[in-house]
Amino acid sequence: MADTTILDMIGNTPLVRLQRMTEPGMADVYLKMESFNPTGSLKDRIVKYIIEEAEKEGRLKPHHIITDASSGNTGIAVGMVASVKGYRSRIYMPETKSVERRKIMRAWGTEIVLTTGEDQNSHIWAVEEAAKDTDTFFYLNQNGNPGNWKAHYFGTGEELLHQRDGRIDTFVAGVGTGGLLMGVAKRFDDAGVRSRIVAVEPDNSHSHIEGLLHFDGSYVPPIWDESLISERVQVSDEAASETARRLAREEGIFCGISTGATTWRALEEARRLGEGKIVVAIAGDRGERYLSTALFSEG
């Protein structure tokens, strides 16, 4: 194991069953702990996958600055992978995202360009403009790059099939770029696993559920394919935050607000499905990333 790098620690995340938040008569609820990736989120998977594919194909050159638009987690993952491999990185992020994100990105040496919080997609428009300079930048393009869903097809989706022996009645995840849901849904389909696939989105475009996209018609990620989804549901900031706090108090799981959103919905699904069934939800990132926000400042 002497030549193991931090990049080898990406993926193979644990699946844990909720012990106290479910009640008798409900389905079992499992969380796929993507927070166990090295930088603490599911985005490590896609950044490693896309960068290594581009290296193999010779599209990523040593002088390139790796860039993308990110609400934080992808930016943090880009910084980590770039620093292991010796690239520079630049991330476009809305100014409204938690300050922890900026501090972590600076620790990797990532340059940060803050865009207005008025428009939930301002960072995407900004990076698309900058990325026209293809001599300077390698544009990771998490919203449009098929490597995003492929990383979850071969990673998250494949792991879940093994972890649950192909038995998952309902799968619940948030939608940011849609990569995770697309990859997992395609993997389940190809394995002949018939799960109900539930996509969770915030109920407004100024939501504090960082990392999830409210579909207001202004932007649809190019990799998104609605036909793979059984139902798209909305979650309020209040329900997501309260569930994230309960996960810490009742289950010992200190997570971000988007995990509160998926778990809230997973509990609803588990109530409807009833005993003997299996619901799996994604735990996207860790609570430490939100210490400066309202999520954990009360009480």
**Marked catalytic residue, from 41, 71, 207, 258:** 258
Q: Is residue 37 near ligand PMP by the rule CB under 6 A?
A: no
SS3 content of the chain, % helix, strand, coil (to 5): 40, 20, 40
Nearer to ligand PMP, 122 or 145 (CB): 145
Cβ distance 20 to 250 under 8 Å?
A: yes
Among 35, 141, 241, 258, binds ligand PMP (CB under 6 A): 258
Q: Is residue 241 near ligand PMP by the rule CB under 6 A?
A: no
Distance CA 174, CA 202 (A): 9
Minimum CB separation of residue 14 from ligand PMP in Å reads 15
Query: How far, CA to CA in Å, does 54 sit from each of 132, 238, 277, 284?
Result: 17, 40, 41, 25
The CB-nearest residue to ligand PMP is: 284
Cβ distance 20 to 251 under 8 Å?
A: yes
Residue bearing tokens 């990325």: 131
Cβ distance 43 to 69 under 8 Å?
A: no
For 111, phi and psi rounded to 5 degrees?
-80, 140
Q: Is residue 262 near ligand PMP by the rule CB under 6 A?
A: yes
Nearer to ligand PMP, 27 or 229 (CB): 229
Among 284, 289, 290, 295, binds ligand PMP (CB under 6 A): 284
Bridge-based pairing state of the strands 28-33 and 15-17: antiparallel
Distance CA 157, CA 250 (A): 28
Q: Is residue 211 near ligand PMP by the rule CB under 6 A?
A: yes
Distance CA 221, CA 254 (A): 29
DSSP 215: -
Q: How many residues of this chain bind ligand PMP (CB under 6 A)?
A: 19
Q: Is 43 a catalytic residue?
A: yes
Q: Which of 94, 258, 72 is nearest to 175 (CA)?
A: 258
**Marked catalytic residue, from 32, 35, 41, 43:** 43
Nearer to ligand PMP, 38 or 179 (CB): 179
Give the x/- contact pattern for ligand PMP in 170-199, rule: CB under 6 A: ---xxxxxxxxx------------------
Q: Which of 272, 282, 196 is nearest to 22 (CA)?
A: 272
Nearer to ligand PMP, 214 or 299 (CB): 214
Minimum CB separation of residue 284 from ligand PMP in Å reads 2
Q: Is residue 120 near ligand PMP by the rule CB under 6 A?
A: no
Minimum CB separation of residue 155 from ligand PMP in Å reads 11
Among 81, 259, 266, 280, binds ligand PMP (CB under 6 A): 259
| Tokens describing residue 266 | 């997973």
Is 138 in a helix, a strand, or coil?
Answer: strand
Q: Is 103 a catalytic residue?
A: no
Stretch that binds ligand PMP, among 92-100, 113-121, 243-251, 281-289 (CB under 6 A): 281-289
Give me the active site residues, please: 43, 258
Can you give the binding site for ligand PMP, defined by CB under 6 A?
42, 73, 173-181, 211-212, 258-259, 262, 282, 284-285
